[in-house]
Amino acid sequence: MGAEAGSQSAVDIFVIGGGINGCGIARDAAGRGLSVRLAEQGDLAQATSSASTKLFHGGLRYLEYFEFRLVREALQERETLLLAMPHISWPMRFVLPLHPGMRFETKTPTSRLLTAVMPWMRGRRPAWVIRLGLFLYDHLGGRRILPGTRTLDLRSDPAGRALRGEFTRAYEYSDCWVQDSRLVVLNARDAARRGAEILTRTRVTAARREGGLWTVDMSGPEGETRCHARALVNAAGPWAGEVIRDTLGRQGGASVRLVRGSHIVTRKLFDHDRSYIFQGRDGRIIFAIPYEQDFTLIGTTDQDHEGDPSEAVCTPAEQDYLCAFASEYFARPVTRADIVWSYSGVRPLYDDGARSATAATRDYVLRLDDRGAPLLNVFGGKITTYRRLAEHALEKLAPFFPAAGATWTAGVALPGGDFPHDGVAALQARLVADYPFLTKSWAARLIRAYGTETWLVLGEARAAADLGEDFGGTLTGAEVRWLLREEYARSAEDILWRRTRLGLRLDAAGVAALEASIAAQREET
Ligand SMILES: Cc1cc2nc3c(=O)[nH]c(=O)nc-3n(C[C@H](O)[C@H](O)[C@H](O)COP(=O)(O)OP(=O)(O)OC[C@H]3O[C@@H](n4cnc5c(N)ncnc54)[C@H](O)[C@@H]3O)c2cc1C
């Protein structure tokens, strides 16, 4: 064992896992005046938190499972989060085409209820049930910013153009988009600003209770290190069960159900800024979402996952499933040849014993073990509910930290998000006035990534050449330096697939140049 990092002074809270839940908890705790250390075995958001559908949503379909608590909390959160990060998240309208073949997943509480009172429906999901669901969706969580549901005539509305002629009517409702991996890194940065120590590429290898504290062993860039903490939070997502079993050496207790979800990305399939939500014959739904200006994101699947969560990929069968599902709706069939990229993530769901992967609860469960120094295990959760999950986690730990501050994160902007929720266009116009060499789409990308911090990224540049090397896709040396210095990026992959999504645009030469530039900067330091 090498240096005993921090052994003299134990931190209040040690967090295992740099996904959205770990980083959200670290930020909340640091803002309450607690000392916090977080260890992530790879890059921030390298697992599930960069592989989501990227929606701040109430989860319309969870209403069919009567998950009212989750839906209500998530609906309320949409606007709270939008106000705190108007750069990386924005309102989005969803078009839900109607047709008589729509079906429930057979065993949802709603389908069982309807089958009992209206057996002739035979599992069909009638339009009036959807409208009722959308009425609840509009009113359960209180809306001030997002517009409510309306009905569309797809024969005249531009949203109908990309769809097959049989779809003539649709409902349109609101949810929000969020850049998931940027959400994680901004939470980590804000936690660090408030005093938290964020360690990436640092795996927790063992932890045990000793003398009223947790002793935590880590393996990272500094070699093998050890530290002490008053409380331990297991926010290891899909690895939460493994951490309990192997890292903490505990048997039994709650378990995690690993449910894989995959997405495909195609070139742009339609020319407007609304998304589609499609209902399948199997009772499932998928989304088709405008993505990164020139692409369409389609997903997701629901498959129980065996094996290492980090090895999840979108299988050929899942690709075919998504293509066939989308082709039931789009006028032009979607085929494997349209796919430019795919990704897959594993939902770390609380195992509630549900039969199907689709039915397993998406709500989160926090389990406190206070037989000695406290251990808080986090199961499940949504990107959308991360802030509330963090508040609940701190509530559970409050008895051990009587001097900790009160809840504070609602209404406090994340880095770069300190401007009005409808102020993106004005901010972008100001950016282009200050840096006239930026193209419109370049400026839009920067504002959507860095918000008011874009000026710090670009600095004194007066021409594109002042930003240093051009890697392609508008990625420059200045932005790369910012990401390495301020956002915990260490590799080309961190930059291309998590801090940005420019991996969709850079060619092999650009990636090689980026790798060489990062290696050179590493040697300098
Ligand atoms: C396909 C899909 C679509 C989704 N879509 C949405 C959506 O649209 N909206 C929404 O709200 N939610 C969505 N979700 C849910 C959401 O993405 C997850 O609930 C959330 O990202 C889980 O975050 P987490 O922090 O718990 O886990 P993770 O992001 O997986 O983070 C856990 C981290 O712990 C680290 N770790 C594990 N073991 C150790 C160790 N020993 N030492 C150090 N670090 C360790 C891992 O490397 C990992 O980075 C979706 C999920 C999936 C899979």
Three-class SS of 326-362: HHCCECCCCCHHHEEEEEEEEEEEECCCCCCCCCCCC
pLDDT, one tens digit per residue, over 336-387 is 999 999 999 999 888 877 777 777 777 899 999 999 999 999 999 899 999 9
Helix 20-31 vs helix 180-193: crossing angle, to nearest 10: 30
Q: What is the pLDDT of residue 23?
A: 98
Gyration radius of the chain over CA positions = 23
Q: What is the pLDDT of residue 64?
A: 75
CB 478 within 8 A of CB 461: yes
Give the model's confidence band at 5: pLDDT under 50 very low, under 70 low, under 90 confident, else very high: very low
Q: Which is the closest atom of ligand 1 to the Cα of 299?
A: 1
Distance (angstroms) between ligand 1 centre and the Cα of 377 equals 14
Nearest CA to ligand 1 atom 15: 382
42 pLDDT more than 90:
yes
Q: Which amino acid is at 298?
A: I
Give the model's confidence band at 111: pLDDT under 50 very low, under 70 low, under 90 confident, else very high: low
Distance (angstroms) between ligand 1 centre and the Cα of 230 equals 25
Give the model's confidence band at 7: pLDDT under 50 very low, under 70 low, under 90 confident, else very high: very low
**Mean pLDDT to the nearest integer, 138-152:** 93
Distance (angstroms) between ligand 1 centre and the Cα of 124 equals 33
- 351 CB-near residues (< 8 Å, 6+ apart): 254, 255, 256, 257, 360
Q: Rounded CA gap, 320 and 303, in Å?
A: 14
Q: Rounded CA gap, 333 and 397, in Å?
A: 52
Q: Rounded CA gap, 381 and 66, in Å?
A: 16
Distance (angstroms) between ligand 1 centre and the Cα of 236 equals 8
Distance (angstroms) between ligand 1 centre and the Cα of 258 equals 11
Distance (angstroms) between ligand 1 centre and the Cα of 385 equals 12
pLDDT, one tens digit per residue, over 257-283 is 899 999 999 999 999 999 999 998 888
pLDDT, one tens digit per residue, over 197-222 is 999 999 999 999 999 999 999 999 99
CB 290 within 8 A of CB 27: no
Give the model's confidence band at 8: pLDDT under 50 very low, under 70 low, under 90 confident, else very high: low
CB 477 within 8 A of CB 23: no
pLDDT, one tens digit per residue, over 498-520 is 999 999 999 999 999 999 999 99
Give the model's confidence band at 177: pLDDT under 50 very low, under 70 low, under 90 confident, else very high: very high
Give the model's confidence band at 416: pLDDT under 50 very low, under 70 low, under 90 confident, else very high: very high
Q: What is the pLDDT of residue 107?
A: 66
pTM comes to: 0.95
Q: What is the pLDDT of residue 208?
A: 97
Degrees, nearest 5: CA angle 365-12-70: 20
Q: What is the pLDDT of residue 100?
A: 79
Q: Where are the alpha helices (DSSP H) in 120-204?
A: 127-140, 180-193
Which residues lie with the beta carbon below 6 Å from any ligand 1 atom? 16-22, 39-42, 46-49, 51-55, 57, 203-204, 235-239, 243, 247, 261, 300, 345-348, 381-384
CA distances from 289 to 96, 266, 409 (A): 12, 10, 29
Q: What is the pLDDT of residue 3?
A: 45
Distance (angstroms) between ligand 1 centre and the Cα of 45 equals 7
Q: Which is the closest atom of ligand 1 to the Cα of 24?
A: 25
Task: Mean pLDDT check: name the lowest of 98-112, 352-366, 438-452.
Answer: 98-112
Nearest to 201 by CA among 493, 525, 397: 493
The residue to mutate among 21, 23, 44, 49, having the most atoms of ligand 1 within 8 angstroms of its beta carbon, is 49
Burial (CB < 10 A; 0-12, 13-18, 19+), residue 164, is: middle
Distance (angstroms) between ligand 1 centre and the Cα of 178 equals 15
Q: What is the pLDDT of residue 282?
A: 83
Q: What is the mean pLDDT of the chain?
A: 93
Q: Which is the closest atom of ligand 1 to the Cα of 49?
A: 21
Q: Which amino acid is at 292?
A: E
Q: What is the pLDDT of residue 119?
A: 65
Q: Which is the closest atom of ligand 1 to the Cα of 22?
A: 25
Reduced to 3 states (helix: H, G, I; strand: E, B; else coil), residue 144 is: coil
Q: What is the pLDDT of residue 2?
A: 46
